[in-house]
Amino acid sequence: MDRQVQGEIDRIVTELRSFFASGANREDTTLTGFESEPTALERLHRYFSEVEKAIENGKTMTVLAVENLGRIFDILKGPQSLKPEDFIQLKSFLKATDDCHDRFNLGENYPLLTDLALDIKPADLLERLLDQTFSPEGEILDTASGNLAQIRRELRTISAQCSTAITRLRDRYRSHLCLP
C-alpha cells in the first residue's frame, strides 16, 4: 500500500474515532483498539455501508444533503485530508452535476434543483454554477463548459482516491468483521 493511501486511511481512522467518540457515543471507547475489537469493527462496517448507500442513492437517513457547497470548492483548491463528510459531499455534488448533464443530453428542459437526486445547500451557489454552464436556451456555453468539465475531472479524481482508500480500509478489516 503506497504511503499516500496509507496516510489517508490513517486520517479516516482518526476521523472515525472522533465521530464515534462524540455525541451519543462519547461514553463508548470500543474504537480504542478497534483493529481487533469485533463490536467496533462491526460499527465501522455499518458506517461505511451508510457511506455507500449515500453514494448509490443520494440520500440516507443520516446524510441528506450537501450542506455547504462553498466547502466543495475549497476542497478543490488544493490537496488536503478529506473527512468522511467531505467525501460524501464530493460524491453528492458529482452526482448532482451528472444529473444536470444527463437531463441536458436527453433533451429535457433546464434541470430544476428540486428534481435533482439530492438536495444541495446553499442552492444559490449551485444555480450560479449552472448559470455559468448552461445558456437560457439549454445549450452548454463554450466558455463555461471547460470549467464544469475541469471541476468534474477533479471531483472524479478525488472521489476515486477516496473510494480506493475506503475499499482498502474495508478489505483490510473484512476478515475480522463479525457480521451475520
All three cell numbers of 131: 448559470
pLDDT tens figures, 96-127: 555 555 555 555 554 444 444 445 555 555 55
Domain with 161 in it: 3-174
Judge contact between 12 and 166, C-beta under 8 A: yes
Judge if pTM exceeds 0.75: no
Residue 73 covered by a domain = yes
Residue 80 covered by a domain = yes
Residue 44 covered by a domain = yes
Residue 134 covered by a domain = yes
Place of cell 449551485: 126
Mean predicted confidence (pLDDT) in 151-165: 60
Residue 91 covered by a domain = yes
**Number of domains within the chain:** 1
Residue 179 covered by a domain = no
Residue 54 covered by a domain = yes
Nearest of 155, 117, 111 to residue 133 by alpha carbon: 111
Sign of CA dihedral 76, 90, 12, 18: positive
Arithmetic mean of pLDDT over the chain: 54
All three cell numbers of 53: 448507500
Instruction: Please state the three-class secondary structure of 88-152 as a single string.
Output: HHHHHHHHHHHHHHHHHHCCCCCCCHHHCCCEECCHHHHHHHHHCCECCCCCECHHHHHHHHHHH
pLDDT at 120: 54
Residue 180 covered by a domain = no
The single-letter DSSP state of residue 161 is H
